[in-house]
Structure 1
Amino acid sequence: MPTETHDQRDEPAEHDDSVPRRWRAALEHLATSTRQILRKKVVRRAGLSAMVVLVAFTGIYAGLLAAGPTRSDLGPFSASFSLTPSWTGDTALEIPPLGAIGLDSHDGPAHLTVRLDALDQDRTFALASDSSGLETASQTAAADVRRGLIELGLRTLVAGLLGTLVVATLAFRNWRRVLLSLGAAVVTMVATGSLAATTFRADSINEPTYQGLLVNAPSVIGDVQHIAAQFTRYRDQLQRMVGNISKVYATLSTLPAYQATPGTTRVLHVSDLHLNPAAWAVIDAVVRQYDIDVVIDTGDINDWGSSIESSFVDPIGSLDAPYVYVRGNHDSELTAAAVAAEPNAVVLDNRTATVAGLTIAGIGDPRFTPDKQGDNDSAGMLEASGSELAATIGAAGVPVDIALVHDPASAGPLNGTVPLVLAGHRHTREVSIMDPIPERPRTRLMVGGSAGGAGLRGLEGEAPTPLEMSILYLGQSRVLQAYDEITIGGTGQAEVTVKRHIADDDLPPPSSPLPTAPASPPAEPAVSAPVSASPS
């Protein structure tokens, strides 16, 4: 009995000892479950956060792609500003067709690209016509860039938010998560902008990186640096030039006009404008004052043949005369197409046309030298081009009065096929009679100077290259009777000189009797009429 009694007293003790054990097991199970639940929530939240950030980035990028670049005026240029994702930040200034200039301007995940898309003709002339236009443009350039960047920032913010809204709505279909994505987009864009602003390096402009044509052609870089050193001089000269255009008008009105016989056709020969806007004002003045019947341009109206330069030819349409043009070695097919789009323009490329009663044949230069190609066997290419035009003239079936080429080196095969060949390219005026060919008419080769003063190239020497053009007087028989050589002292100089030549005076005495030519009008003495117009 005592033993049983002892066993009965011990049983409750064993039962009481098992209770804490079960509680400990329950608590351990609860803790394990809690840890698993918390771990799952952390992972889920982390995944959700990563998804929100990814959606924000995707939405920002999609918004930027959909919105496109921001357009803004930068001086006379229409420029575009755009942002793209990047590990290094930095800025690229694209200047077609020269290439691009890279600047280590800032850090961060946003790369800024500024592209000069088009040259606005009206603003260019406004800058040139205003005596303080270029100085004002240089002072307002920073403000133009700042305005463009502000517009780009606002556009980026709006486009990024809209893009994020669309992407988040498609990805989550939950407004709470959509709002989280929008918040992440705002934080990302503000942080990127702040990082770019705090790391901005203004002195990066002093250490640019050139890419494209500027790297491939060191000689171009040298020319640019040389011209830049004289830009102040060029600016002053250009201002003086345009400021005195009204005095050029008055000068031209006092010059002796050629007393041409009835039926005389007046031709204005220009060449090598090379993007000088001052040339158009002089051409327009001559066309009006001399009652020009047709303007002939023997090429190099542009410098690089790029689409940006195409708007430079717009003044052709406002001239009160047809405009006949052949492509120069600095003009591209884009240039020729831009000229052809003008309502009064005729572009000749190995064909003939009748303009103002004259039958004119022309061919473009076979080379395109701004891309540094086409220089191999240049002489052979030019001669072949002249031969091609000579064959076209021979097959025309009608007498051709004038042949047009850009480089005089193409004129050789035309000797004896036409009475007059017009060319340019050399930036120096030359008139010569080509070696006579038995039983063929003599051919006069007239090489025009640069009607644009060779553009910026004209500043590379000690004295600016003069602006030169010629007026040709062709009689009723379409034979050259006389010509006036107009010279305006290099860019910015006000002196105007017009020199009269009688065509017969150019002919050397024949070594053997030639057929008697039709009677010419009475010869006039050569007239040199320098007139100075003082600066405004």
Structure 2
Amino acid sequence: MDGQDNEQPRNGRDGDIPAGRAWRPPALRRSGRTRPGARRGVRRAVVGLAVLVVTLAGVLLGVLAGGQVGTDIGPFHARLSVSPSTGGGTTIDIPPLGALKLDSHDGPTHLTVELGALDQGRVEALIDDPASLNRATQSAVEEVQDGVLRLGLRTIGAAVLATLVLALLVFRDTRRAAWAGGLALLITAGSLGTAAATIRPQAIEEPTYEGLLVNAPAIVGDVRQIANDYTRYAEQLQRLIGNVTQLYTTVSALPVYEQEPGTTRVLHISDMHLNPAAWQLIRTVVEQFGIDVVIDTGDITDWGSEPEASYVGSISLLQKPYVYIRGNHDSPRTAAAVARQPNAIVLDNATTTVAGLTIAGIGDPRFTPDKSTSPAAGGLNPPTADELITTGETLAATVRSSPQPVNIALVHDPAAAGPLSGTCPLVLSGHTHRRQIEKLPEVPGQQPTTLMVQGSTGGAGLRGLEGEEPTPLTMTVLYFDQQKLLQAYDNITVGGTGQAQVNLERTVVEPPATGLPASITPTPTPTR
């Protein structure tokens, strides 16, 4: 109509209102939709997270698969490897002796150096030519440095390559794979760079020892003499290579002893006196020497108290029969704690047969944790001597009445061994903290009896530090043939706290016709 001024928009033109809808401003019509920019941001975040996950997986696979190199260190062929870790650090494996663990660096990488097979030809050449051995140990540091550098480059290359392959398989996009590869390079190089930047050469001053290296820290020298700079750290590494080389050659220098099939191996220990490090040493010898039975002639604790009872829990870890008699530092509750171990046998005027050996044993009649019976106490007074002799006579009667011939008798104090002469071929004891082997006075018409007194497998505990020289840790491996006769024995001695020596001495026993042991042929393996 001609008079109308407010004409409404029509359908079919810009700005027209669709049929059936009320008119709204354009801004209101777009408010219910996701903006394209927001959608792109979410998509990029998801893709970025996926790239990060794939990168981490690729780095992990690459490090595990390629983070290792082989290198020669002195006469050893060593294997260097790196693995992910939250605490960093370095492990030096020296099979079968054990390992050194060093808090050498921080960061998410752990370095392992495993000294593997020996080149026998190189070892013999080095031993024959001291100058060659000196040159080999001097070059050991450079060989380790070269190996670590090659390990780092190989690890970075393996991590990046594994990440690229994994990213291409997942994304099928070269751009995203390139981003993942670059991120892998940054993560791996950054991790190794953190380790290099935080390296602590002085960490060798406070290593953690495992295996046979426990209580033999001098394999790397006296830690108090180790300097705080890399130069002297390198000197200690040179000494380690030389010392371990000598230690590995011990077996070839031992007297020849061909073990017969069916040989029974017994480990004799005594007087551990709560030394926790003794257990690791025992476990290593049990494993490496193939021990069948462990015999403990007492004084496993110091005071025989209830809190000390937890110390004997390590017996079960040996997983071998453990025959024990009580020492004068062990209380009845100590013996009860030992008896609770699934592999332990406590003897107190009784016999048992283990691995074909018939063993008789009796506990010490005294309980004197105040050290009044120690070797430094001035010897035995007559009443105590009579008490011990009576104990020996009691066990001798038990041995004679045994339905099976007794192969080994056990007493804690060798003063109780006299009455056992002629009842069995071998008596084992401890108490004196000093190794000793002797023949008991012979009884006419009876078999000769050998008394073997063990030193202290625990280095006499804290009292081992009271003298001018620390008490060494000792144990003996006894070899019995199928007739259960002693054929040979290996005396193992680990230098006491702060000392630098590990000795292995083998004695081959002469045939029973003489009944006398062959002269001892010492084969020391000094680690100074």
TM-score calculated relative to the size of structure 1: 0.49
Identify, as 1 or 2, the structure richer in helix.
Answer: 1
